[in-house]
Amino acid sequence: MTSVASSRGSLPMSRIRPGRIVSWTLLFIGGIIMVTPLLFMLSTSLKDASQVYDLRVIPAAPTLDNYIEILGDGRFTRWLINSTIVAVIVTLSNVFFDSLVGYTLAKFRFRGRYIVFIAILSTLMIPTEMLVLPWYLMASRFGWLDSYWGIMFPGMMTAFGTFLMKQFFESVPDDFLEAARIDGLNEFTIWWKIAMPLVTPALSALAIFTFLGNWTAFFWPLIVTTSAELYTLPVGLSSFAVEQSIQWEKIMTGASIATLPTLVIFLFLQRYIVRGVMLAGLKG
Amino acid sequence: MSVIAHQQVAAGGLWSRMSLGQKQRIWAWGFLAVPLLFYVVIRFWPTFQAFYLSVTDWTITRPAAFVGLENYKRLLADALFWQVFRNTFLYLILGTPISLLISFTVAYYLDRVRFMHSFIRALYFLPFLTTAAAMAWVWRWFYQPVPIGVINDILASFGIPQQPFLRSTTQALPAVLAPAVWAGLGFQIIIFLAGLRAIPVTYYEAARIDGLSEGAILRRITIPLLKPTLVFLVVFSSIGFLRIFDQVYNINTNDPGGPLNSTKPLVLMIYQTAFSSYEMGYAAAQTVVLFVILLVISLVQLRIMRDR
């Protein structure tokens, strides 16, 4: 129990053995293989059409022409904007409502609380695919097809997020909330100003997951959008080469543009994202 | 209850005179009002509607009429359905063990690595952050014949004959599965790492004092203590493979699920029945079948893992 490693709960390893070097090397090679598709995608996006068949990872004459052309063609920029709008709004909605409901179920005592919790949790058993047809019917009846609201409405709240937030709010001490009550704050302010700051790790995990999930979402946006102006990036990408013969360097540029935002976010928030995945995996 | 009683004593004054329990109840239902409306309209009602639609002959043009179990009978007699059923389970029984085996092996060794730990972890995790629609293009390009296809180029340099990959009815399904496994590994590795770290280090120390070999420690301590993590990942990834769609649709946009339906999973069949043939009632019956499969799989797996 004296070693530092005990705080991490992992194996204390003091000696460097040959086996260790071999396993490190294999892990490293495996990691490089994992990112190979990403490297090829990025490198091809920096090549012009004549270099595509040259499979070197470092382009002989790197060029940003593909990016200029793709982003200059208004459609792609539009898809980028659509994806951003949808992912941001849905994320804000989830952070607000999931934590509000999670907080209410964790911290209020009232009759029906358990039933509400079970009812919300039970929706986790229903696969999205089953709801898609009724949603489509609903959207067409209310004129939501081919609109931002149509893309967003099914995901505005999730049972997963609610469950995650409830778990975390349960660990917030009641004394804090009572103290605020004594100070005369109303319940909404107590939640927003006192309880929410205490669960920021969970909030960031929820935000990251929701954003990533909506940024990469394909099935529902594919169904609900029909005009190219409302496509999200993934839907736009899948329609990309149907109309033109496959130009790999252009496609790889489009794929890069769809992928880079999440990779850049990861580089800045790596610690939070990894911790968030762990939190969600263990609690959720 | 005790919270409220305590509060009434502690707070005194204004709050105690206003019946705090009642006030709290009003706040609680006020907070839940909009979310409950959402869950009723966007989750519960559509669930019942999906079951109802599955016993109707609804198409886009024609209003729904009750047809009983006609859709289900038709499904059982549909050769395409059985092909799709087989494909879906192939994704599951290949994808889940392969991905869990790889991710556990990586996590097990990565857990002991200090040098550049977070960098190596990041390498494995990055594919998880990608968009399936984008990555399908990359993999599709890899699978092309020479001179463009990267994999065939590598094979050729070793003198191995060209492989058809996506053009072959036998190779296409594994070729579609590979990117799905690839993209999911990072998530599983992170979860395994979290599980491994939750095992108290004293267990290992005790085992080592008792002279257990590394293999015995793995079998007798690590894996049993990792069971909750394992249950979670098995269920999570099984559901993921049973619902596979994005990777399949995007890797062959000209003929999704092809060649000759050899890669078509259930969700793609649902999509095409509903939005290419516009047979909504028939598609709804397929979604109910998917729901039942997912339900059974999760219940069976939870039971198996609990008993062991």
Q: Who's near B144: CB < 8 A, 6+ residues apart?
A: B152
Q: Is residue B54 part of a domain?
A: no
- My answer on whether B111 and B203 are in the same domain is yes
A252 in reach of chain B (CB within 8 A): yes
Cβ-Cβ contacts under 8 Å for B148 (sequence gap 6 or more):
A52, A53, A248, B141
Q: Does A181 touch chain B (CB under 8 A)?
A: yes
A146 in contact with chain B, both atoms CB, cutoff 8 A? no
Q: Cα–Cα distance between A180 and A190 in angstroms, integer?
A: 6
B184, amino acid identity: G
Q: Residue range B174-192: average pLDDT? A: 94
| Beta carbons of A266 and B288 less than 8 Å apart | no
What local confidence, expressed as pLDDT, does residue B308 receive? 54
Interface of A with B in 63-102 (CB under 8 A): 97, 100-101
User: What average pLDDT does chain B have?
Assistant: 88
Closest residue, chain A, to B115 (C-alpha): A24
| Residue at B122 is within a domain | yes
Asked whether residue B57 is assigned to any structural domain, the reply reads no
CA distance B191 to chain A (A): 6
* Nearest-by-Cβ selection for B135 from A37, A104, A174: A37
Q: Are residues B144 and B268 in the same domain?
A: yes
Q: A residues 215-234 near B, CB within 8 Å? A: 215-216, 218-219, 222-223, 233-234
Q: What is the separation, in whole angstroms, between the first and last Cα of chain B?
A: 40
For B212, list phi and psi in degrees, rounded to 5: -75, 145
**Chain A partners of B193 at a C-beta cutoff of 8 Å?**
278
Q: Which of helix, strand or coil describes residue A98?
A: helix
Asked if B125 lies within 8 A of A266 by C-beta distance, the reply is: yes
Give me the long-range contacts of B257-262 (CB less than 8 A, separation at least 24): B258/B172, B259/B166, B259/B167, B259/B168, B259/B169, B259/B172, B260/B169, B261/B80, B261/B83, B261/B84, B261/B87, B262/B87, B262/B169, B262/B170, B262/B172, B262/B173
What are residue A144's phi and psi, to 5 degrees? Answer: -95, -5
Residues of chain A positioned with their CB less than 8 A from the CB of B15:
181-182
Taking the Cβ of residue A262 and every Cβ of chain B, the question of whether any pair is shorter than 8 Å is answered with yes
Contact A102, A168 (CB under 8 A): yes
Task: Assess whether B82 and B158 both reside in one domain.
Answer: yes
The number of CA neighbours under 13 Å toward the Cβ of A277 is: 27
Least trusted range by pLDDT, from A145-159, B33-47, B147-161, B165-179? B147-161
| B44/A120 CB distance under 8 A | no
Compare CB distances from A216 to B132, B139, B198 and report the shortest one's residue: B132
Chain B residue numbers with beta carbons less than 8 Å from the beta carbon of A220 are none
Chain B contact present for A127, CB below 8 A? yes
Q: Which residue of B has its CA nearest to A23?
A: B109
Chain A contact present for B171, CB below 8 A: no
Confidence tier at B243 by pLDDT (50, 70, 90): very high
Candidate from B132-136, B171-175, B226-230 with smallest mean pLDDT: B226-230
Residue B56 lies in a domain: no
Alpha carbon of A193: minimum distance to chain B alpha carbons (Å): 16
Considering only CA atoms, which of B233, B246, B192, B137 is closest in space to residue A213? Answer: B246
Name beta bridge partners: B59.
B279
Cβ–Cβ contact A126 with B under 8 A: yes
B259 or B9, which is more confident?
A: B259
- Are B214 and B100 within one domain? yes
Is B207 within the bounds of a domain? Answer: yes
B65 occurs within a structural domain: no
Identify the DSSP state of A224: H
Of all residues in chain B, the one with the smallest CA distance to A39 is B138
pLDDT computed for residue A265 by the predictor: 85
User: Does the pLDDT value for residue B12 go beyond 60?
Assistant: no
Residue B26, token pair as written in the block: 């009003």
Tell whether A185 lies on the interface with B, counting CB pairs under 8 A.
no
Token reading at A145: 């097809």
Contact B24 A138 (CB under 8 A): no
pLDDT of residue B297: 84
Q: Do residues B126 and B186 touch, judged by C-beta distance below 8 A? A: yes
Q: Are B35 and B152 within one domain?
A: no
Q: Domains, chain A, ranges and CATH?
A: 17-63 (no CATH), 67-283 (1.10.3720.10)
Scanning every residue of chain A, which has its alpha carbon at the shortest distance from the alpha carbon of B179? A37
Alpha carbon A147 to chain centroid, angstroms: 21
- Domains contained in chain B, number: 2
* Cα-trace Rg, chain A: 24
Contact across the interface for B24 and A254, Cβ inside 8 Å = no
Measure CB to CB from residue B123 to each of A35, A133, A135 and give the nearest one.
Answer: A35
Contact B133 A218 (CB under 8 A): yes
User: Does one domain contain both B28 and B121?
Assistant: no
Q: Which of A100, A134, A256 is opposite residue B49, by nearest beta carbon?
A: A134
Distance in Å, alpha carbon of A171 to nearest chain B alpha carbon: 15
pLDDT(B251) > 70 = yes
Domain that holds residue B292: 71-307
Cβ atoms B156, B162 nearer than 8 A: yes
pLDDT recorded at residue B148? 80
| Per-residue pLDDT reduced to its tens digit, A186-225 | 899 999 999 999 999 889 889 988 999 999 999 999 999 9
C-alpha separations of A161 from A57, A95, A166, A210 in Å: 40, 8, 8, 9
Distances (CA, A) of A139 to A114, A135, A142, B101, B172: 31, 6, 5, 42, 35
Mark yes or no for CB contact A178/B44 under 8 Å. Answer: no
> Do B21 and B76 have their domain in common?
no
Q: Which of A116, A184, A258 sits opposite B131 (nearest CB)?
A: A258
Number of other CB atoms surrounding residue B80 within 10 Å: 14
Q: Is residue B89 part of a domain?
A: yes
- What is the domain-level CATH number for residue B121? 1.10.3720.10
Q: Is the pLDDT of residue B212 over 70?
A: yes
Claim to verify: residue B245 and residue B165 sit in the same structural domain: yes
CB-based contacts of A202, cutoff 8 Å, min separation 6: A164, A165, A167, A168, A279
Residues B74 and B256: their CA atoms lie apart, in Å, by: 23
pLDDT, averaged per 10 consecutive residues of chain A (284 residues), comes to 39 63 93 94 88 78 87 89 96 97 93 93 90 94 94 95 92 89 89 93 89 94 94 90 72 91 86 79 59
**pTM passes above 0.90:** no
Q: Do A23 and B113 touch (CB under 8 A)?
A: yes
On whether residue B61 sits in a domain, the answer given is no
Apex A220 CA angle, A214 and A226, nearest 5 = 115
For residues B21 and B85, state if they share a domain.
Answer: no
What number is the ipTM of this complex? 0.87
Range 67-96 of B in CB contact (< 8 A) with A: none
Q: Is the pLDDT of residue B268 over 70?
A: yes
Contact between B24 and A110 using a beta-carbon 8 Å cutoff: yes
DSSP 3-state of B56? strand
Q: Based on the domain organization, do B21 and B164 belong to the same domain?
A: no
Q: Which residues of A touch B135 (CB under 8 A)?
A: 37, 255, 259
**Residue B214 predicted with pLDDT over 90:** no
Residue B168 has pLDDT above 50, yes or no: yes
Question: How many C-beta atoms lie closer than 10 Å to residue A26's C-beta?
Answer: 13
**Residues B10, B116 within the same domain:** no
User: Is B300 in the same domain as B222?
Assistant: yes
| pLDDT, tens digit (0-9, with 9 covering 90-100), for B86-132 | 999 999 999 999 999 999 999 999 998 888 988 999 999 999 999 99
